Amino acid sequence: MDIIKIKNLSHKYDKKQIYENLNLNIKEGSIFGLLGKNGVGKSTLINILMGYIKPNAGECLIFNEHSHNLSKNIKEDIALLYEGFITYDYMSIEEIEKFFAPFYKRWRRELFYELVDLMNLEYSQKLSSLSFGQKSQVVLGTLFAQDAKLLILDDYSMGLDAGYRRLFVDYLKEYVKSGLKTVLITSHVMQDLDGLIDEMAIIRRGGEIYSNRVKNFRDTFNCYEVTKDEKMSIEEKYIHRVEEYKDKNLIYSFHNLNLKEIETNFEDKFLGFVGRY
């Protein structure tokens, strides 16, 4: 079952094309990564999905309802974390939980405190006394406690150090194990997503989209170190990107080239696909 269906979506700001004929489906029970450099339209797509922006053309369906006209019942099935979230610093952790609880009919207090307890904080602590990363974790606790069917996390990693990010990723994996929860996630930290997301869409400037399973991308997109002469002998259609580094030439390709292959991790491959700068 597809929770999100995006059909022939096109959108632009003035003359800047963000998406053109985008088609994308996100299956129930999956963790889907929406990846790309800053400014390519990740948050724009989330705004369209939430109905805050109406696209120039095409449609987005969430639980088979049009995103710009979601019913109250469907909105209750969606939990949204925006980049640059707002916190109420004058409240304590306990007060935050009590403040949010009445707004959500399926609120699960134990899920909020499960995530908070991982940080060994006192419930009486004011948010103003917490680090930014700790505040982020409290906000994530309010998200999970909503017990929504669809979680949309726009750069969850902001403000979290490596330890808290690992803690959150492990918790998220456990949270979706039932197969009834679906997650759409964006992040700038690629190493966190490796082993977490099932499928992904990489957005490039101008609205070009590459969509695939993460495993397929890792297995088929490779980096090769070549000499200038070797580079000149490769047909252009086999080259996705060329990067020059000091006296080396690195070629990224979806084709199996009979050249010296460089060992790369998921982040290396992502940067090789979109470019470092």
Structural domain spans, the chain: 2-216, 221-274
Question: What pLDDT, in 10s, does the model give residues 146-183?
Answer: 999 999 998 776 666 777 778 778 888 888 876 689 99
pLDDT of residue 137: 84
Contact yes or no for 152/3 (Cβ under 8 A): no
Task: Tell me how crowded residue 131 is: count the other CB atoms within 10 A of its CB.
Answer: 13
| Model pTM above 0.85 | yes
- Of residues 24 and 87, the one with the higher pLDDT is 24
Q: What percentage of the chain reaches a pLDDT higher than 90?
A: 45
- Is the predicted pLDDT of residue 6 greater than 70, yes or no? yes
Q: What is the residue-averaged pLDDT of the chain?
A: 88
Which residues, 6+ apart, have CB-to-CB distance to 117 below 8 Å?
none
Name residue, tokens 């948010």: 127
pLDDT, residue 159, reads: 63
Mean pLDDT of 98-110: 94
Q: Is the pLDDT of residue 121 over 70?
A: yes
Task: Specify the pLDDT at position 158.
Answer: 63
pLDDT at 25 over 90: yes
- Whether 94 has a pLDDT exceeding 90, the answer reads yes
Averaged pLDDT, 189-212: 85
The pair of three-digit structure tokens given for residue 152, joined into one six-digit string: 């949309």
- Extract the tokens encoding 17: 């094309």
pLDDT (mean) for 117-123? 89
Q: Tell me the C-alpha distance between 97 and 95, whole Å.
A: 5
- For the segment 53-91, what is each residue's pLDDT rounded down to a tens digit? 888 899 999 999 999 899 999 999 999 988 666 778 999
Return the pLDDT at 84: 61
Please tell me the predicted confidence (pLDDT) of residue 57. 93
**Can you identify the CATH homologous superfamily of domain 2-216?**
P-loop containing nucleotide triphosphate hydrolases (3.40.50.300)
Q: Which residues touch 34 (CB under 8 Å, ≥6 apart)?
A: 42, 45, 46, 184, 185, 186, 200, 201, 203
Phi and psi angles of residue 263, each rounded to the nearest 5 degrees, phi first: -65, 130
Higher-scoring residue by pLDDT: 152, 277: 152
Strand order in the sheet with 209-213: 78-81, 150-154, 182-186, 31-36, 199-203, 209-213
Please compute Rg for the chain using Cα positions: 21
- Mean pLDDT computed over 228-243: 86
- Residue 237 is classified by DSSP as G
Three-state secondary-structure class, residue 116? helix
